[in-house]
Amino acid sequence: MTDLATCAAPPRHGAARRAAPALAGHAAVRALGLVVLALWSAARGTSPHTLLAARWDSLWYTRVAALGYGYEVRLPNGDVHSNLAFFPLLPWLERLGAALTPLSYADAGLVVSALASLAAAWGVFAVAEHVYDRRVGVCLVLLWAALPVGIVQSMAYSESLFTALAAWALYAVLTGRWVTAGLLASLAGLTRPVGAAVVAAVWAAAIASYVRECRASPPGGVPRGHGMSRGRRALGAVLAPLGTAGYVLWVGHRTGRGPLGYLDVQAGWRNGFDGGYAFARFVAARFTSFPSALAGVGLIAGVALIAGLYATCVRQGQPLPLLVYAGAVTALALCASSYFGSKPRLLLPAFPLLLPLAVALARARPSRSAAVLGGVAVASALYGAFWLNGSGPP
């Protein structure tokens, strides 16, 4: 691997041409998923548009776009579901799209998600091409597009927008564009709570870069040009947390609870961070009967697979920002205390975990890689249609 301190961005000339196969493949996988969803929904008499744009969290985002913050639902058990739990960048873009076009807020959300999904695919490709090569980048994008819950990329949800901002922030870090990385991290922090993972990646890379620079500096001063570089790096590190911190502090001010206000809002949804205790109890409860025990075995196998992929990422020497980002996203997803069915969706932005698989596919014969990716894409399309027409995202 190339030292992060000496990494340089590839020439801008031809960047779109290099990414074109990955973007075309991503669009094809997502189009397949939508076609299968449309056919499945027609057979069941459901509306694919409703499933994609007007159910579950999509409704909460459009309510924020239409009415602003302040809406809440009080459940019979006393829980309070407040729309303050939803970060503002996607609703802002939905409102902007509805203001500039004849689209509804929900349809504007679908457009934002579609464009963000392509931007995310390009960012994922750029990161993989920079760390490995173009072939690995194409394979990584196709794997990410064909994840079992990949249909979420086509919903009026914030996963695609967040992944786009996170991927390009990581690419900016890898190529030494610290101010750009900080700005993108700040926007990611306005998109989802897991924006903290992007901040952690920027900070870890900045600290590692500073330490390397100090060790390489001659006694008695800073080499010419390093002062400006340090200034940009420091500015990027300062900018990175502003999105997350700004929204959390605003919620605290609005609720009158200070920095704890956002935690109170999450508690109203029975969500929090408990180190994985509740999830472990949920998995253990699957073994109370034979049919559900199979689900328990599947959950354990899934967690083991994720842990194995992360360990492989470490062994392969992935750059520190990718390891920190993927580790933080995984920890925040698996250690949340509620919404266990959402965990695969919450892991969707952790695309660096797929790099070992992408490397293996890139090294295999093209025919074998195409067969594997094609089969995975078909399975993803079928599962996405089944999932959205069943329980779907909570």
pLDDT of residue 6: 39
Residues of the chain with pLDDT under 50: 1-8
Q: Sketch the domain layout of the chain as residue ranges.
A: 15-269+354-388
pTM reported for the whole predicted model: 0.94
pLDDT of residue 193: 95
Candidates 195, 177, 178, 194; CA nearest to 186 is: 195
Do residues 88 and 247 lie in contact, with contact meaning Cβ atoms separated by under 8 Å? yes
pLDDT of residue 14: 82
pLDDT digits (tens, 9 = 90+) for 91-140: 999 999 999 999 999 999 999 999 999 999 999 999 999 999 999 999 99
Look up residue 271 and give its amino acid: N
